[in-house]
Structures are given as structure tokens and as C-alpha cells.
Structure 1
Amino acid sequence: MKAILIAGPTASGKSALAIRLARKHGGAVVNADSMQVYDGLPILTARPREEEMEGLAHLLYGHRDPAQPYSTGEWAREAAGVLADLRRRGLVPVFCGGTGLYFRALLGGLDDMPPVPEEVRARWRGRMEAEGPQALHRLLAERDGAAAARIRPGDRQRIARALELLEATGAPLAQWRKQSAPPLIEEEAALKLVIAPQRPALRERIARRFDAMLATGAMEEALAFARRPGALEGLAGNAIGLAELLEVQAGRLEMGRARELAITRTRQYAKRQETWFRNQLSAHWRRIEEPEAFGGT
């Protein structure tokens, strides 16, 4: 076994299982969650706390500026570097997260998107801020109609990404979607686990976890994050609970209602994750209901 992959919905117990298996097999935990890559929201994105890490290395957590864009392709390139380093050190990588596309990237099912020069990226992100997504979506429709048809007019990240790729490569988005990146991990060399808890148990865990977030400083974290230039405009600004807590601070929402909304949104998100994993992960993934009872290999 050269790697361990642990996927599952939010609040399902992935992090604790990853730490336990990393300890057992001599490994390091590598983040595979698209929200936990960002700095500034360790509580609201449920990053493992220092005291939970048991002294094990945790990589690709909180290392990105929330005001800057970040793609699955960039994560895959960083993950490739982490893999090479861990292999040199004789450590087993334990990938843990809820972002399905990251696992697809690891196993070779991701479109092979090329890197975009920083100056090109900065120019389009600047135009997005100045002109808005609808205007750039109309521009994309003129230059790459097929891409515009697939992307919602309000999807800032994907509109900008399509325009960046078009300028940087001269090729439409569909051309790059025809090319698949090579796998970073061979499926047969990995233990692949997807946590699939019973729905009532997961719903209860989600509620308890959000209450714990509130008790450990989520409001203070939200306010500090909102003060960071550009942070709310990036993907991390969509973190569940952030908008609700800022509405409380602004006096437009009662805390009880904010709690209810955040828990409901988290449960809806978990359901979408469950659907993705059920439909997209192959039968070679081992499904477990209770990670606490999993004995390992």
C-alpha cells in the first residue's frame, strides 16, 4: 500500500480516521478539501486543530491566500510535489477531504489544464472585479461560445478561468477537456475509503460541530476574515457560516436563526457530497459507515 485516500461528506469523521491511519502506517496527512487550503478560517472550515494532529505532519492546509484564486489543477501540481517529498522520506501519504475533484485528480480523471501566467490571471481577475461576471460572460460567449454555454453567468471563478486559458493558450476550453492528466497515484496501490454515515447520525454531528465552532471563536474568526482585503470575494468567502455570522454582527440576523441557517446549509452540502461520491467513485472504493470502528488494513 503506497497511499491512503479518505473521502466523505463534511463532519463525517474523516480527519480523525486519517490521523489514526497515518499513525498506524507511518504517514502524513494531506488535505484534499478545497476550503481547508485557505488561510484565515480554520474554525469555520473545520481544519484539524494542533492538539488533534498528534504531532503528525499535516500538509496543504491553510497555505493559500483567500484573496487569490486557486484551482484543482494547482492543487494537483502541489500534491504531486508533496507526494514526491513523502516518498523520498518513506512516509505514506494519507489524503483526506471532501472535494471529489481532488481525488479525481489524484487518480488521473482530471482534465489536463495548463498553468496560466500570473500576469494573465491578474488581468482577468482585475477585469472581473471592475466589470462583473455578467459582462465577462458575454465576452466569453463571443470568444468561446461552447464554454459560455456550460458556465453560469454568475460563476466568477469559472468565467475568469475560461478567459485566462483562452488568452494563455489560444485554445478553447473544450480542447483542454479532451486531455486527461496522468494519475498521481495508481488505484491498485492505494487503500481507498469513502465514509458513508447514516443520514440521521450525520445530521446530528453537523449540528454539534457548528455549536462547537461557535463556542471556540467562530464569530471572532469571521470578523477578522472580513477585514482582510479581498478575502470575501474569493472562494473562501463562501465558507458555510461566514455570511450568517457577519449578518448577526451587522444586526440583520438573530444568532439562533444564523445557527439554524448554517446547519441547514451544511446538511444540504453534505447531501450533495454524498451524491457525488456515490455516483462518481468506483466500486473499488471501500464504503464504511462508522470510521471510529474501522480497524484498518
Structure 2
Amino acid sequence: MRQTVAILIAGPTASGKSALALELAQSVGGVVINTDSMQVYRDLRIITARPSPADEALVPHRLYGHVDASVNYSAGAWLADAAAALAEAQAQGRVPIFIGGTGLYFKALTAGLSTVPQIPAEVRESVRARLEQNGVEALHAELATRDPRAAERLNVRDRTRIARALEVVEATGRSLLDWHTEGQPPLLPKDSFRALFLAPERDELYARIDARFDAMLGAGALAEIARLAERHLDPLLPAMKAHGVPALIRHLNGEISLDEAATIGRADTRHYAKRQFTWFRHQLPDFEWVKPAEARERLASAGE
């Protein structure tokens, strides 16, 4: 473990990652670095189960709530911010502990990331306007004309990815697939980190997800989403698609009851957890899968 530069703790939502990272950071003098794409948004503390202010005061936390919900924050932006957080931790002699559930962030951290140029705001707004006016099928047809390879790989109903692919080809003249072949090197070279994936039993995890969603409602999640809804942001922005947000906004708009919104939010979160298992198994096979109860023992010597 003396060669370890960083510790990576991944896992599905509600698997106990935050508690483990906090305990580990306290024991080894570490800094907790957020590796979750929704916990970056300052507007979404409750609904994303971000660490509490009390927990954040116990050890240094980085990349939590530092992005406004109006920003289309990307994996590339996170990687740049993570590089700064990693450099800060190393300069202070602290063990960086990357913790979260966003597989793409972990893959960027350990395997690098394709370099796609920043898309001009006017291009993004033009594509979004056409999407709203003409519908997703028309946008997919447009993409099929301009970038048939990308269009062939996308579901005709996938609004977000179709819009993204069209933005890239419109702004750069190149396919998103081409940009994916050119990338940034990983921040953490192979053998410089210890990586765990917390894998609880499915039934236990789903029960935890349901209970946590109800607890978030009890802690003020609906009021938090009401404040977000008042901003009238683009519904395609990542923050507006966080689990539970669309359903709760529908409730606030009088379309469904709170019970119905909660049922949808719980179900969406369970489905996401299932996708997390699948994604990590296929995309990051080097992560060591452990039961949450075993993780503390596995990491007992980390950072020594």
C-alpha cells in the first residue's frame, strides 16, 4: 500500500460510500473528493444526499456543490477540477479519496478521456430550440444526415445524446465518435491507486434507496426542488434530470400527487443503481468488488 497515490471508492447509490470515505479520511488524514455528477450542483444538496455540513467540517471535502444548476457540467470539466483537487491533496500530504457513483468520472480518472472542444452557446441553443420545436425524431433524422455513424448508435428517443452529437458535429465539423479516439491521459496511472466497488445485496440496497428517498423528502427535498423550479432552467440540463427532480417538478406543477412523484423517484433511483452495477462490471473491471461490511477491513492499511 505504500505506493498508493489515491483511494477510489465507487458503488451504487445508497451503498454507504460517504460514511466509509469519511471514516477513512479521518483515520489516514485524507481529503474526500466528490466523484458524483449530481453532487457537484449547489442547488441539489438534499435530493442528491450530499454530505452534511457537519460531515464536511470533519475532514476536507472537495468538488461538492461548487457548480450552479444552470451549467452543463461535463466529465471534462470535472477531470480538470479533479486534477486541481488531486494536486492540492498531494501538496498538503493528504491521501486523496475519490468517492462517488459516476462511472464515467472514474473511467476518466483512471483511463483518460476524449477531448471534445467547448461547444459555443449559440450552437447549443440552436440545437435545443430545434429539439423543442421539431421533436426528437426530426433531430435524429438531421443527425443521420450529418453524422450517420453517430445516429446509427443512438436510440431515436434519446434526446440528450442526440442533441449532444448534433452540437458536436455542428460546432466542429467532426463526428463525436472521432473526438472519442483522441483523449487526455489518465490522472492516476495504473498501479497508483486502490479501487473498490461497494456491492451490497440487491434487496437490501433497494430497501435503503426507498428509505433514503423518503428521508430526503422529510428533510426538505420538495422545498429544494421548488426553489430550483422557480429558475425555469432548460429541462435538458443535467441538474434538472437528477433522480427525483423531474417527478417532483411534475408534482409542483399539479400534474401528479406527491405519493406518485415519490414512487417515480424511488423507482428511477433503483433502476439507476441497477445500471451502475452493469456499467462498472463491464467498463471498469479492475475495481475490486466487496460487500460494504468488508470494505473497512480491506482498506485498513490504506494510506500507510
Classify the secondary structure of the residue corresponding to 1:185: coil
Query: Are the counterparts in 1 of residues 198 and 295 from structure 2 also a CA contact under 8 Å?
Result: no
Cα separation, partners in 2 of 1:227 and 1:54, compared to 1, 3 Å: same
Q: How far apart, in 1, do the equivalents of 2:114 and 2:240 lie?
A: 26
Classify the secondary structure of the residue corresponding to 2:195: strand
Task: Report deviation, 1:127.
Answer: 5.2
1:287 to 263, 270, 289: 289
Task: Report deviation, 1:166.
Answer: 2.5
Unaligned runs of 5+ in 2: none
Alignment partner, residue 179 of structure 1: 182
Give yes or no for the alignment of 1:51 onto 2:63: no
Alignment partner, residue 238 of structure 1: 241
Task: Report deviation, 1:3.
Answer: 0.5
Classify the secondary structure of the residue corresponding to 1:149: helix
Map residues 163-202 of structure 1 onto 2, 5 A cutoff: 163-202=166-205
Of 205-214 and 244-253, deviating more is: 244-253
Give yes or no for the alignment of 1:159 onto 2:162: yes
Alignment partner, residue 143 of structure 2: 140
Letter in 1 for 2:292: E
Give yes or no for the alignment of 1:84 onto 2:87: yes
Query: Are the counterparts in 2 of residues 29 and 93 from structure 1 also a CA contact under 8 Å?
Result: yes
Classify the secondary structure of the residue corresponding to 2:97: strand
Cα separation, partners in 2 of 1:232 and 1:112, compared to 1, 3 Å: closer
Query: Are the counterparts in 2 of residues 31 and 97 from structure 1 also a CA contact under 8 Å?
Result: yes
Letter in 1 for 2:258: M
Give per-residue Cα distances to partners, 1:42-82, cap 9 Å, x unaligned. 11111111112243222222222222322212222222222
Cα separation, partners in 2 of 1:131 and 1:70, compared to 1, 3 Å: farther
Give yes or no for the alignment of 1:215 onto 2:223: no
Alignment partner, residue 208 of structure 2: 205
Query: Are the counterparts in 1 of residues 251 and 257 from structure 2 also a CA contact under 8 Å?
Result: yes
Classify the secondary structure of the residue corresponding to 1:40: helix
Q: How far apart, in 2, do the equivalents of 1:33 and 1:25 lie?
A: 22
Query: Are the counterparts in 2 of residues 8 and 98 from structure 1 also a CA contact under 8 Å?
Result: yes
Give per-residue Cα distances to partners, 1:245-286, cap 9 Å, x unaligned. 33333444333333333222211211111121222222x422
Query: Are the counterparts in 1 of residues 7 and 98 from structure 2 also a CA contact under 8 Å?
Result: yes
Give per-residue Cα distances to partners, 1:165-184, cap 9 Å, x unaligned. 33443322222222343111
| TM-score, normalization by structure 1 | 0.89
Letter in 1 for 2:185: P
Query: Are the counterparts in 2 of residues 165 and 173 from structure 1 also a CA contact under 8 Å?
Result: yes
Q: How far apart, in 2, do the equivalents of 1:144 and 1:35 lie?
A: 30
Cα separation, partners in 2 of 1:58 and 1:145, compared to 1, 3 Å: same
Letter in 1 for 2:272: Y
Query: Are the counterparts in 2 of residues 195 and 291 from structure 1 also a CA contact under 8 Å?
Result: no
| TM-score, normalization by structure 2 | 0.87
- Tell me the matched-pair count: 296
1:9 to 9, 12, 15: 12
1:38 to 10, 23, 41: 41
Task: Report deviation, 1:9.
Answer: 0.3
Give yes or no for the alignment of 1:149 onto 2:157: no
Q: How far apart, in 2, do the equivalents of 1:158 and 1:233 lie?
A: 10
Query: Are the counterparts in 1 of residues 112 and 187 from structure 2 also a CA contact under 8 Å?
Result: no
Query: Are the counterparts in 2 of residues 17 and 291 from structure 1 also a CA contact under 8 Å?
Result: no
Query: Are the counterparts in 2 of residues 107 and 185 from structure 1 also a CA contact under 8 Å?
Result: yes
Task: Report deviation, 1:96.
Answer: 0.8
Q: How far apart, in 1, do the equivalents of 2:16 and 2:108 lie?
A: 23
Q: Calculate the aligned-residue CA RMSD, in Å.
A: 2.4
Query: Are the counterparts in 2 of residues 108 and 180 from structure 1 also a CA contact under 8 Å?
Result: no
Letter in 1 for 2:60: A
Task: Report deviation, 1:240.
Answer: 1.9
